[in-house]
Amino acid sequence: MVMQLTAKQSIFLPRIAQIVRVDSLSDREKVFEFVFDDGKELGHKPGQFVEVSIFGVGEAPISVTSSPTHKGSFELAVRAAGSLTNHLHTLGKGAKVGIRGPFGNGFPLDTLKGQDLLFVAGGIGLFPLRSLINYVMDTRQDFGEVTTLFGCRSPQERIFLDQLDTWNSSKDMCFLETVDRVPDDSWKGNVGVITTLFPKINIDPKKTYAIVVGPPVMYRFVIAECLKKGLAEDHIIMSLERRMKCGVGKCGHCQINGVYCCQEGPVFTYAQVKSLKEAV
């Protein structure tokens, strides 16, 4: 087998990007806006991810939180959790990083066009989902009814507050949120896990696609609620977290059974995931 290749086609070679803005979202989370040195677009679909390089520290997979409808730059929202992300949090405007990607399949936009959408975001599951929600809001005429459910552990962990306010007051979206618990009485909203919001919504199961992103533990409970609402298994779409080390289907770290999450995923339907025993 002969593959005519050159070093320039290295699967490890990133493009250089610069941080042009950093905003704090919470104690542990920040959003970074990047522009490529070569001036080109990232060219992503909502739901795709990139590999961020900080040289000397390493690389980590981060989902893109901005919508492709936003041109000229892209945003990554990042929780400081591992070595790369903790280091990224120390960087400010002007710092340079490497970016590979975008990788992964992304959300199935063609399938979703013209349909009613139910977004379900748990905690920082909102990061990848925000890319799609903003895409939908920017091309609102292409979609039917939009409902968004957002849950996090406490009021302090709410993120993108301005955006939550906008969605809450928008006539183009039914927005409901909840927190698992409250430390004091400053929170006037819903209290309880995200599944407690399901009885409050009305959806047409035939026309609705649920797009669910959250921590691994959230999926099985939310899926059960979606099925109870009458959604078909292939109308429940989720994005799965794995250790995407190379992003190009070689290194093996992101395998879910025989599936490479960085290639066939990270977005799967419940119908697909059901046959993957290690998925949720």
Partner 1 sequence: MQNRVISRQDLAGFVDDLIKTKSAGDVIGIKAQGNKFNFGPLKSATELRLDYDISLLPPKKYFFPQQETVLKYEVEPAFKVEPVVEERMLCIIGVHPFDIRALQLFDAVYGGNNPDPNYFLKRNNATIIGVDCLNPIPKSFAASMGTNTVEEGFDLMLTDLGGDWFVTVGSNRGDSMMKKYGKGREATNVDLEKRNKVRRDAAKKYKTSLKMKPDEIPALLDANWESPVFKERSATCFSCGSCVMVCPTCVCFDVQDDPALNLKGGERYRRWDACMLPGFAAVASGENFREHKEQRFRHRMYRKGKYLLERYKYLGCVGCGRCGTSCLADIALPADTYNLLKEGK
Of 5 and 169, nearer to partner 1 (C-beta) is 5
Among 28, 96, 153, 274, binds partner 1 (CB under 8 A): 96
For residues 14 to 53, the per-residue mask of contacts with partner 1, x marking binding by CB under 8 A and - elsewhere, is x-x------------------------------------x
Q: How far apart are CA 173 and CA 117, in angstroms?
A: 10
Rg (CA), the chain: 19
Q: Does 215 bind partner 1 (CB under 8 A)?
A: yes
Assign 196 to helix, strand or coil.
helix
Q: Which two tokens stand for residue 94?
A: 């002007």
Question: Taking the complex as a whole, how short is the minimal distance between the CB of residue 164 and partner 1, in angstroms?
Answer: 22
Among 21, 23, 24, 55, binds partner 1 (CB under 8 A): 55
Restricted to residues 240-279, the positions that interact with partner 1 (CB under 8 A) are 241-243, 245-246, 248-253, 255-258, 263, 277-278
Instruction: Name the E strands within the chain.
Output: 15-24, 29-36, 49-54, 58-63, 74-79, 96-103, 116-122, 146-152, 174-179, 190-191, 208-213, 236-239, 255-256, 259-260, 267-269
**Burial of residue 262 (number of CB atoms within 10 Å: 0-12, 13-18, 19+):** buried
Q: How far apart are CA 108 and CA 127, in angstroms?
A: 17
Select from 4-12, 184-192, 196-204, 218-226 the region that touches partner 1 (CB under 8 A). 4-12
Among 20, 35, 57, 182, binds partner 1 (CB under 8 A): 57
The strand pairing partners of 269, in sequence order, are 237
Q: Does 216 bind partner 1 (CB under 8 A)?
A: yes
Count of residues that interact with partner 1, criterion CB under 8 A: 49
Residues that bind partner 1 (CB under 8 A): 1-14, 16, 53, 55-60, 79, 81-82, 84-85, 96, 98, 215-216, 241-243, 245-246, 248-253, 255-258, 263, 277-278
